[in-house]
Chain A
């Protein structure tokens, strides 16, 4: 536990020492802010239109701003995740620092969880930072915070799961760009698996649909806390980290 935290802390400080964390933080905040602004402007225009026409249809901040915004942010995560996870092991392999870690009195699994957790923390931090925008909604409106937190949890879980996949891929190569490209491909694939369900309902289609990260995000997106879907994400994390451990072991036997 202590070793995990030592590794995690070093990783985090390394993210912020190299410009990657700041870069992602800045880019994500700008893009998220821009989208927020657009949703908000549309929301205001709609409500003004309705007032002018004298309609009294209920407007909902949760449904019209927060939910689509967080849905988009889970999609944006797809681009961000490879950039976060690519360096985890690839950089250590290239610099030879993996030899330091692998010969220190630390178990492989502690190294792996420490690294994955630092990536997840960074990912969550970037999203929370962007969500500062919501403060305005709470200040001038009256949104329901419970479904928002559930959706946010979904975004975090999805990120953590894809980062576990990225951690595994990062152990496969010394080259960060290759790690990023492969992770991006894997994330995208896990994303589009769900498309099969729109025209097919055979067992195979259901299996693929189940494997897709987006299928399980839907319930969180609606603000429903579902154990079944949380378990899916937790098992992806487990499988990802399990394969990372196997890959690191094979690294020892081969290199």
Chain B
């Protein structure tokens, strides 16, 4: 659906986007990830025909963004970083205007307006002035204008920036629900967002492509083998560290045990296994049958945040010292990448 080859954007002194290539197939929902100033917005602006590329080419639905700009624009819905709202207009009036601008008219237009009002849950503010709407509503009106002409491709630039946690969840759910009908590229610098909404990720840093893969593969690739964290303890007496380690080592499929932390009456091991997470049952049984306490057993899934830091090379050393997080935080607007 989208093919980008050697796309480059140079400004007078800086190169914002430097020969990046990727492709997105139909129906995908792709996270476009990078620290602030990485060139996310510039790339999106080139895809939406707002900026012409300096070098390279990009096609959307088979049309070149520079040569066949009008065809591309008809097939793209774009939500810029701040929703492009005319604050003096009413919601419905604004949506009608955008619909007309995108080539809709008559009964068709009214049908689409009613549809997006319903889909984006903004029907209750349809006669309200846009200037009176809260940030969350404005964002949803922004999404509504992007999908009004039922475009093949949706390009969303930081769709959840500046929203509160509840609004972020609502917006994410909305985006996920749109994935069936549209091919979506969304940019963000918030990592849990990508883990929760996207199927694959394109990571760029300083204008260069760093990685492009599925979320799952990226995590696996950075982690190497699957690993599990086990916290074993004893009720009384000295903790038999070497015996426990030997016992764990003997379980079939375990390729390595690392002592992560030792404390009075217990220890935390990281178990690497070739059988992935399947080894957990055997681990639990072995520990309990030996008469020890199994205090904790959890996958040491590396969060995308660490993958990201590793790939973009910033603070990689610092983050590997801290114990891995137990998966992505459920709701973490504060856990933005400090990159």
Contacts and interface: CB of A to CB of B under 8 A. Distances in A.
Nearest to A6: B100
Contacts of B11: 254
Given A3-B101, A10-B97, A252-B52, A104 B73 contact: yes
A18 B51 contact: no
Given A10-B86, A14-B89, A18-B88, A105 B102 contact: yes
A104 B101 contact: yes
A17 interface: yes
B88 A99 contact: no
B246 to A, nearest CB: 64
Q: Which of B84, B87, B88, B98 counts the most A-chain CB atoms under 10 A from its CB?
A: B84
B86 A97 contact: yes
A252 B80 contact: no
Contacts of B50: 99, 102-103, 252
Nearest to A104: B101
A57 interface: no
B336 to A, nearest CB: 22
Contacts of A199: none
Contacts of A136: none
Interface residues of A, number: 25
B72 to A, nearest CB: 9
Interface string B107-143: 0000000000000000000000000000000000000
**DSSP class of A's interface residues: helix, strand, loop or mixed?**
helix
**DSSP class of B's interface residues: helix, strand, loop or mixed?**
loop
Contacts of A254: 11
Contacts of A140: none
Contact of B98 (A98, A100, A252): A100
Contacts of B52: 252-253
A253 B9 CA distance: 10
Given A6-B97, A10-B97, A100-B84, A17 B89 contact: yes
A202 interface: no
A99 B80 contact: yes
Interface string B84-96: 1111110001000
Interface string B75-89: 010101111111111
A105 B73 contact: yes
B147 interface: no
Interface string B38-68: 0000000100111110000000000000000
Contacts, number: 69
A106 interface: yes
Interface string A101-115: 111111100000000
Nearest to A249: B52
Nearest to A106: B101
B76 to A, nearest CB: 7
Interface string A6-41: 110010011001100000000000000000000000
Contacts of B172: none
Given A103-B49, A103-B73, A105-B74, A96 B86 contact: no
Contacts of A203: none
Nearest to B98: A100
A252 B51 CA distance: 5
B70 interface: yes
Contacts of B73: 103-105
A142 B88 CA distance: 45
A103 B89 contact: no
B88 A105 contact: no
A75 B33 CA distance: 56
A198 interface: no
A105 B70 contact: yes
Given A10-B97, A17-B88, A105-B73, A96 B51 contact: no
A23 to B, nearest CB: 14
B100 to A, nearest CB: 5
Nearest to B47: A103
A255 interface: yes
A227 interface: no
B31 to A, nearest CB: 21
Given A14-B88, A18-B88, A252-B52, A103 B101 contact: no
A95 interface: yes
Given A6-B97, A10-B97, A103 B76 contact: yes
B17 to A, nearest CB: 14
B281 interface: no
Contacts of B102: 104-105
Contacts of A252: 50-52
A109 to B, nearest CB: 13
Contact of B145 (A10, A100, A102): A100
B165 to A, nearest CB: 25
Nearest to B93: A13
24 contacts: A3-B101, A10-B89, A14-B88, A17-B89, A95-B85, A95-B87, A96-B80, A96-B83, A99-B48, A99-B50, A99-B80, A100-B98, A103-B49, A103-B50, A103-B76, A103-B78, A104-B101, A105-B73, A105-B101, A106-B101, A107-B70, A252-B51, A252-B52, A254-B11
Q: Rank and list the top 9 A-B pairs by shortest CB-CB distance, nearest first.
A: A100-B84, A17-B88, A105-B73, A97-B84, A103-B48, A104-B101, A99-B80, A105-B74, A6-B100
Interface of B: 11, 45, 48-52, 70, 73-74, 76, 78, 80-89, 93, 97-98, 100-103, 145
